[in-house]
Amino acid sequence: MMKKKHFSILCILALVFSVICPVNALADESTGDDTYTYNLDYWGDVQDSPDFYTVCKVFTSSELGLETKMKSPEGLFVYQNFLYVCDTGNNRILEFERISSEKLELRRTIDSFEGDDNNTFNAPTDVAVSVEGNFFVADKGNARILKLDQKLNLLQIFVKPVDNTLDATIPFQPSKLAIDTAERVYCIATGINKGLIKYEPDGTFSGFVGATKVTFDFLDYVWKKLATQEQRAQMESFVPTEYDNVYMDHEGFVYACTGAVTREDLRADKAQAIRKINLMGNDILVRNGEWGIYGDIHMGSGGGYEGPSYFSDVTVFPNDIFICLDRNRGRLFGYDDQGHMVFAFGGNGNMDGYFRRPVAIEHYDQDVYVLDTLDCAITVFVPTEFGSMVYKAVDQFDQGDYNASGESWERVVQINGNYDLAYIGIGRARLRQERYKEAMEYFEVKYDDENYSKAFKQYRKEWVEDHIAIIVLIILALFLVPMGIGRIKAIKHEIDTDELFTR
């Protein structure tokens, strides 16, 4: 995005000459409502795309074989080949075994456990399973986080952290959980905006991590300074926003998303809809894409929905592609490890593949599971040929198999000629194969200046090495020819003025 800023500065200067500068025009405001799957190109224009994921099956309560129907379920978790659903309204957790993409079998209905007087759940909102197989349940209504073993014996209870900065009167409402390999608990609690609550494996509270940056504009700040105590109390306070959901990726980084962001803050890069938090609590998400990682960039109102995408959950694949779930427009947005959009699809509605209020997303292998809290249904998406080819190409590149990756990307281009990542992917494969000229062409088509420069640098070096003889000759000629002419002229002058001839 930097070079665009450069260009706009140039444009402002060009105003000395120009009133209108049509080059810098923005893309038209289409919202992508026309197709199910789409992508954004370099200019931010919506490009129609073949489906990346397609609905394999929608599991409703009856199809899952449940006697009591699910009631506003909120949590979803995949552990090995088990799928856990937090059936919040019925105070229970459902354990399904994933037989295949089309088949989920109910194994257990967990509604109580051993080892405590209060041995039932009250509105549990999230469940997570550690590597050792212990359950962690955010028992929101009972203001506690439970750690249970596979046989449902209570191992530990995590309660409200004792901290001076926390208001003791506010009830503790843990809503979402992430567990790392050492069984540290990262928790989001309703009403606590200092970041993620972090518990050590022994249950002690060890601090808040990764609070969002506080955003305010200067004018508000000045107003607040001038206002009286009472007026100030009435004003909106500058506080960090709460996260909506967390996900622990395979490397131990926590992905946290929030929907409480405004369009202006997102566009000004002041707020982040999604962050990748390291142990220090810093955001290390790579944002090299042309457009920000906040879902729809065209936020025109349509069908009663407006404003930015509301990310309610995120899931991360082993190849660092992550999928964000937009509760506002019922869409799924995939981004790669560099922050480029891989796909976007979905919508609000009642058909298969559309949602009313999607709240949780999980993946098994390449299948994606989405839980809708109003429909009380789990939708299973499987990648199409196009989707799996993209994944294949990404994986092959990560494994260093550049030839195969290039071929896979070429196959992707055959399916979808408007797919920018494919052209850049072919270019990167060509770059590794040292076919620089071709790489440059692919990068130029999709305006990838960094990679183009890399390829061009090598190409230029090769060219100079190949043509070194000619270059030296030309440079010599540039010096020798004028010198020679000067010499001849001098001789001629000498002859002309020589006494021998003038006499």
Partner 1 sequence: MIEALTRKENWIRYLNSLKFALYCMTHPLDGFWDLTHERRGTYAGANTILIATLMVRLMTLRYTSFLFIQVYWEDVNIFLYLASVLFPLALWVIGNWALTTLFDGKGRLGQVYIATCYGLTPYPVIQFPLMVLSNFVTIEEGQFYSVLSIISLIYCALLIVTAMGQIHEYSAGKNLLFTVATLFAMLVMIFILTIFFSMISQGVLYMISLVREFLFRL
Binding site for partner 1 (CB under 8 A): 3-4, 6-7, 9-10, 13-14, 16-23, 25, 27, 42-43, 444, 447, 449-450, 452-454, 456-457, 460
CB of 467 to partner 1, least distance (A): 14
- For residue 16, the minimal CB distance to partner 1 (Å) is 6
As measured in angstroms, the least distance from the Cβ of 441 to partner 1 is 12
Task: Give the three-state DSSP class for 159.
Answer: coil
Cα angle vertex 206, ends 202, 207, to 5°?
155
Q: Which is nearer to partner 1, 6 or 503 (CB)?
A: 6
Supply the minimum distance, in Å, between the C-beta of residue 449 and partner 1: 5
CB of 210 vs partner 1, minimal distance in Å: 33
Question: How many CB atoms are located within 10 Å of the residue 166 CB?
Answer: 18
Angstrom distance (rounded) from CA 468 to CA 21: 43
CB atoms within 10 A of CB 189: 25
Report in angstroms how near the CB of residue 428 gets to partner 1 at its nearest: 16
Q: How far is the CB of 39 from partner 1 (least distance, A)?
A: 17
User: Which of 117, 450 has the CB closer to partner 1?
Assistant: 450
Nearer to partner 1, 7 or 402 (CB): 7
- What region does 444 belong to: left with phi over 0, alpha with psi -120 to 50, or beta? alpha
Element (H, E) at 323: strand 322-326
Q: Residue 96: exposed, middle, or buried by beta-carbon count in 10 A (0-12, 13-18, 19+)?
A: buried
Q: What is the 3-state secondary structure (H, E, C) of 214-255?
A: CCCCHHHHHHHHHCCHHHHHHCCCCCCCCCCEEEECCCCCEE
Shortest distance, CB of residue 21 to partner 1, whole angstroms? 6
Output 437 or 457, the one with its CB closest to partner 1: 457
**Of 9 and 476, CB closest to partner 1:** 9
Q: At what angle do helices 449-466 and 468-497 cross, to 10 degrees?
A: 60
Question: SS3 for 170?
Answer: coil
- Cα 197 to chain centroid, rounded: 23
Report in angstroms how near the CB of residue 231 gets to partner 1 at its nearest: 41
Nearer to partner 1, 18 or 118 (CB): 18
- C-beta closer to partner 1: residue 283 or 444: 444
Supply the DSSP string of 71-99, one letter for each residue: -S--EEEEETTEEEEEEGGGTEEEEEEEE
d(CA 458, CA 450): 13
Minimal distance, residue 165 CB to partner 1, in Å: 46
Contact 68, 90 (CB under 8 A): yes
CB of 5 to partner 1, least distance (A): 11
Q: Alpha-carbon distance 54 to 76, whole Å?
A: 20
- The dihedrals phi and psi of 170, each to the nearest 5 degrees, come to -75, 130
State which residue, 232 or 461, has the beta carbon closest to partner 1.
461
Closer residue to partner 1, CB minimum distance, 3 or 225? 3
Please answer whether residues 322 and 316 qualify as being in contact, where contact means their C-beta atoms are separated by less than 8 angstroms: yes
Residue 302: DSSP 8-state: B
Q: Which is nearer to partner 1, 32 or 334 (CB)?
A: 32
CA angle 315, 321, 326 (to 5 degrees): 50
8 Å CB contact between 415 and 389: yes
- Cα 62 from chain centroid (whole Å): 34
Q: Cβ 25 to partner 1, closest distance in Å?
A: 4
Q: CB-wise, 42 or 216, nearer to partner 1? A: 42
DSSP symbol at 271: S
- Extract the tokens encoding 421: 């990542």
Query: What residue type is assigned to position 301 of the chain?
Result: S
